[in-house]
Structure 1
Amino acid sequence: MQQYKQCQNCETHNPINKFYCTNCNESLKNTSINSKESIVEKKKECANCGATVEKNVYKCKECGSFVAKGTKLSKRPFMISDNNTGSDNSIALLLYIVALLLPSIGIIVGAIYTSTTDPYKTDLGKNLIIIGILNIVLTIILYIFLLRNL
């Protein structure tokens, strides 16, 4: 028995470890895990290259052209969480400023954020760690440079 998450946007069956649909990039956050024995998928033909594609697929994997009219594109821009609000963006900006001014705090907060399951917060945590480490390295280089020139 195979388990999958079915996209609510395009009905594609996705592996259970995916956060976003592999076909349309829609969030799979609120989808449940389903099981199937062996369901035969209906197929259709790409009008551009003639390749056979699954019924639920909107984009041909061979040539990259869209195979259905009225294709719904993802409403999710890159690196924006589905539950991301204006206050989340303000907090992220504040954390970036803290990582610049107090790099050790940025590294600690970044480490905490990387342990979450939300991909937006995980990426934010990685960025905070990188900014904190770069800030420390640049401060040391600048300090050494100033000591030599005194």
Structure 2
Amino acid sequence: GMGLIVLHSGHFSKIFKKLMGTSCDLKWREAGENERLWVVQPNHPIAEGIGETIELEHEEMYGEHFDIPVPDELVFVSWFKGGEVFRSGCVFNRGQGKIFYFRPGHETFPTYYHADVQRVIKNAVNYVAPTKREQPIRGNVQPLESLD
């Protein structure tokens, strides 16, 4: 029932690869080019407070094919100046837990200072947080109705 947020190159982390069951491989180019993230599910809680797009002036390009399962929900799709596109905001459900993968970020660019990127991450923290659920009763139990 725990949540997980995976940022940028965390797609190659052991835990993400294990949860996806794939190589999580992709195309990439470190060119510092413009990225436009399109909000493709504007009513999703992770996109709350974000306009139609997020513009990032300098980013590392990630391109398809991204070797992940089909996301349960796709919130953002990126377009790069070089013409590539990428599924940049993906939600996966695993049991009672939620996983959110968010592509932007690179150690040489100030991506995480961008107000919209910070907003997405804050929204994602709230979205993937565990929720209180009534736990099923297990073990040796009394019958629900009289056996008489």
The TM-score range, normalised by the shorter chain, is under 0.3
Bigger relative contact order, structure 1 or 2, given CA contacts below 8 A and separation 6+? 2
Larger helix fraction of residues: 1
Q: Which has the higher strand share?
A: 2
The TM-score normalised by the length of structure 1 is 0.27
**Quick check: which has more Rg, 1 or 2?**
1
